[in-house]
Amino acid sequence: MTDDFGLFGPDSVSWRVHREPVLWLAGIRALYLQALHPRAVAGVVQNSDIRRNCWPRLMRTAEYVGTVVYGTTDQAEQAGQRVRRIHDRLRARDPGTGEEFRVDDPHLLRWVHVTEVESFVSTARRARIGLSDADIDRYYAEQTRAAALVGLDPATVPDSAAAVDEFYRSVRPELALTAEARDVARFLTLPPMPGRVVAIGRPAWLGLATTAVALLPRWARRLYRLPGLPTTDVAASLTVIGLRGVINALPVREGPIYREAMQRVERARAEVAA
């Protein structure tokens, strides 16, 4: 067999988790969560105009994740190299101290990585995709390979649910609802839309954004000065389960990276059968 299944492959938990379209919600959840780190949100706000390029930025992020998960090893490594080149030249100033820092500081990269993968796997579990505790640990361990692409030492990246919980406990004293976090949260909730789609698109997006916020950990919702109640968790889970059912009933087209990955799998199976 000559096909390259990339960093993870068809038997991985990563492939099983990321084939679910409902994980768009997880991406939005991760953005709300990331904004609570003052330096992380400062690095974004000070180096880009998210108000003008929000949709292209979201699409590029989704394409990057798809390439890392389903692309070939070479495609994933090239995507990581592009991200590292961009980060290498970016600097920002701490909103509290005025100190200049690198956007690719390992601590910030870990924060972004953990919030992303935890958002993906926790949303997948609440959508009842069928993940055991062992599956979740395996997912985190697999995703340390993705962390290496952006320049992190995999040995320093949380590789289990317990390690992720410990990471969150250690970083929570650094988190705050800064003015920049408020601005980003407001923007995520009511982003600009073309006039021809705003009548339908805005209510639909508001529903997605509200659900994404409800999916946040209780401590994060409290930082946003929102109720951190168990009933919110239950309502969010029921919404995600229903949304997954609706999305999976629609004729949603898979992206080219996913289709190419499935074609490689089919070729490999045909070779084995032959």
Of all residues in the chain, the percent with pLDDT exceeding 70 is: 98
Confidence of residue 253 (pLDDT cuts 50, 70, 90): low
Cβ neighbours of residue 5 closer than 8 Å, sequence gap 6 or more: 72, 261, 264, 265, 268
- 91 has which bridge partners? 102
Q: Is the predicted pLDDT of residue 139 greater than 90, yes or no?
A: yes
User: Measured between alpha carbons, how far is 136 from 40 in angstroms, rounded to an integer?
Assistant: 26
> Both tokens of residue 182?
């408020």
- Residue owning tokens 């999976």: 248
pLDDT recorded at residue 232 = 85
> Both tokens of residue 193?
């839309």
> Both tokens of residue 72?
């070939």
Q: Is the predicted pLDDT of residue 213 greater than 80, yes or no?
A: yes
pLDDT recorded at residue 1 = 47
By three-state DSSP, how is residue 100 classified? Answer: strand
Confidence of residue 79 (pLDDT cuts 50, 70, 90): very high
Residue pair 69/15 in contact (Cβ under 8 Å)? The answer is: yes
- Amino acid at site 4: D
Cβ neighbours of residue 192 closer than 8 Å, sequence gap 6 or more: 51, 54
The residue ranking higher by pLDDT, 199 or 135, is 135
pLDDT recorded at residue 25 = 94
173-204 in b/e form (b: 16+ CB < 10 A) is eebebbebbeebbebbbebebeeeeeeeeeee
Q: Is 68 exposed, middle or buried (0-12, 13-18, 19+ CB in 10 A)?
A: buried
Residue pair 243/227 in contact (Cβ under 8 Å)? The answer is: no
Task: Encode pLDDT of 12-27 as tens digits.
Answer: 999 999 999 999 999 9
